[in-house]
Amino acid sequence: MKKLLLSSAILSVLSLNVAAETPSFNYAKLGYTDSSDYDMSSGLELKGNFELSDNLYLNGEFTTYDSMDGIYKFTQDFYTVGLGFKTEISRDTAFFTHLDYASLKSKFKQSAFGGHSTTLDGILLGAGIRSNVAKNLELSAAVNYLDLEKIKDKTRGEFTATYHFTDAFSGYASIETDFDDSDYAAGIQFSF
């Protein structure tokens, strides 16, 4: 059922195409994020792409979550860096895929007993479609597979809407979900 929903969402992005230019892979995003994985967990995200050629781009992300409940404090930093491949599949739609090194650092502190931290390393593999569906509106749908040591592998769908106020300044909202737990984000994007 999950695969059917993800496939339907990706195909719906393809059917809305009315613009005349493929999305740019030269941007930086800064946003607020909230996760249902942990109670009261929210933070900031910084994401970006940089085109190396017509088909290759650098991909990176840094997300930090904080959660505090009385005497307990939990922080989690997640970052990725990697290389992506993109290709036009129509005049306003691009297919992309990327392979990234991923790292997750978790810190847990309890005021009376100190705390501990753990760092897990692995890979993030993603593939999806980005499409300019109207003059100022871009939609994207992707499937991401995260494989970190000691953690059950996760496959999640990611859906993003970006509204371009100007060529250089945009706002975005996104959800990344496995239909059990979800991460929500909203913020600004600077294109260059």
CA 179 to chain centre: 16
Beta carbons of 119 and 4 less than 8 angstroms apart:
no
* Residues 61-110 pLDDT 10s: 999 988 877 677 888 999 999 999 999 999 999 999 999 999 999 888 87
> What pLDDT score was predicted for residue 14?
47
Helices (H), the chain: 2-15
Q: How much of the chain exceeds pLDDT 70, in percent?
A: 85
- Burial of 35 per CB tally in 10 Å (0-12, 13-18, 19+): buried
- Confidence at residue 115, expressed as pLDDT on a 0 to 100 scale: 81
Residue that wins the pLDDT comparison between 4 and 33: 33
DSSP 114-156: EEEEEEEEEEEEEEEEEEE-SSSEEEEEEEEEEEETTS--EEE
Q: Which CATH class is domain 2-191?
A: mainly beta
Query: Average per-residue pLDDT in the chain?
Result: 88
Name the pLDDT band for 13 (thresholds 50, 70, 90): very low
Q: What is the pLDDT of residue 111?
A: 67
Residue 31: the pLDDT is 98
> 148-187 in b/e burial notation, b at 16+ Cβ within 10 A?
beeeeeeebbbbbebebeeeeebebebebbeeeeebbbeb
Residue 6 confidence (pLDDT) above 60: no
User: What pTM does this model have?
Assistant: 0.84
In Å, the largest CA–CA distance within the chain is 60
Residue 181 has which token pair?
């737990």
User: For 16-48, what is each residue's pLDDT tens digit?
Assistant: 544 468 999 999 999 999 987 655 578 999 999
* CA–CA dist 173, 178 (Å, integer): 17
pLDDT at 40: 54
How confident is the model over 140-147, as a mean pLDDT? Answer: 97
Query: How many other CB atoms are found less than 10 A from the CB of residue 110?
Result: 13
The yes-or-no verdict on residue 52 having pLDDT over 70 is yes
